[in-house]
Structure 1
Amino acid sequence: MRNASEVIEQYLKQILLQSPLGIIEIQRNDLADQFQCVPSQINYVISTRFTFEKGYIVESKRGGGGYIRIQQVELTSHGSIFDHISCTIGGHIDQTTSEGLLYQLKEGEYITLREAKLIQAALSRDVLLFKLPFRDEFRASLLKVMLTALLSK
């Protein structure tokens, strides 16, 4: 049986898929009532599962008419994929951000689950036994080379 966070995440992803613009606006309290949970559970799901690294932009407006807007970032052209990868990685990247980028590329079907797992294993802090900041710099270089090799046509 799935936990509440997974159910809420899947619900939000489903309504995002149904949205013609790839944007949804939700009321945190209404969603909490719908799933019979506390509003902080909604915050947790949004802050951990709808991050920029995973391909989402989240905006919130507080107050009486407040809302949370979630927008899915689409990687549509070959050039925009490389631009996004380059901007996300930069000169260094930590393990969590690299895993988020791999998740986004897997979800967008640019890489396979097997490729994502292989890259993730190679970039793990358990494998890259360097001290920071060199570890994150080396991870960035390695990730760029691996993704360029996989995504180049």
Structure 2
Amino acid sequence: MEEDRWLRIEHDLERVLTGEQDIAALVAATQRSRLAGKKFVRRVPTEVTVDNRSSEKFTVVDVFTQDRVGLLFAITHALYQLGYIIHLARISTNADQALDVFYISDRGGNKIVELERMRALRAALAERLEEEPGGTDQPSSAASAARSSASESFGPVAKG
């Protein structure tokens, strides 16, 4: 990698770590610059599954979608905004397809077992991943609804 690119990365990382730069805005700007003049064409449908049988301790979230700049950030940021903790992630990309698996819990360390919370989690991730790359860093309406629903039913959820 070119030295000037490393210097930009180092500078951006320092700004994020000191709180001078919002990481969501930085990712969105990177997406916009990389996608400038290019139309995003979805060739792979997005599928999100929430599974409580594969792990004794964690809820397993499988995300299959088209790979793109900022995808991993979009997924992890959405999980964070919903108030979940990622304990393990397995990231796999083949050509333009991504299969990412996340082992998560709520802030109390518990699996997400309530059907309503599982549905809200799945819907929020699916909606976020259907958005155009380089779009807003604001929470999707499904993420906001999921946070509100979880807060009403299960106590406060961190807003991120």
Question: TM-score scaled to structure 2, two decimals?
Answer: 0.26
Higher relative contact order (CA 8 A, sep 6+): 2
Whose strand fraction is larger, Structure 1's or Structure 2's?
2
Which structure features the higher share of helix residues? 1
Q: TM-score of the superposition, structure 1-length normalised?
A: 0.27
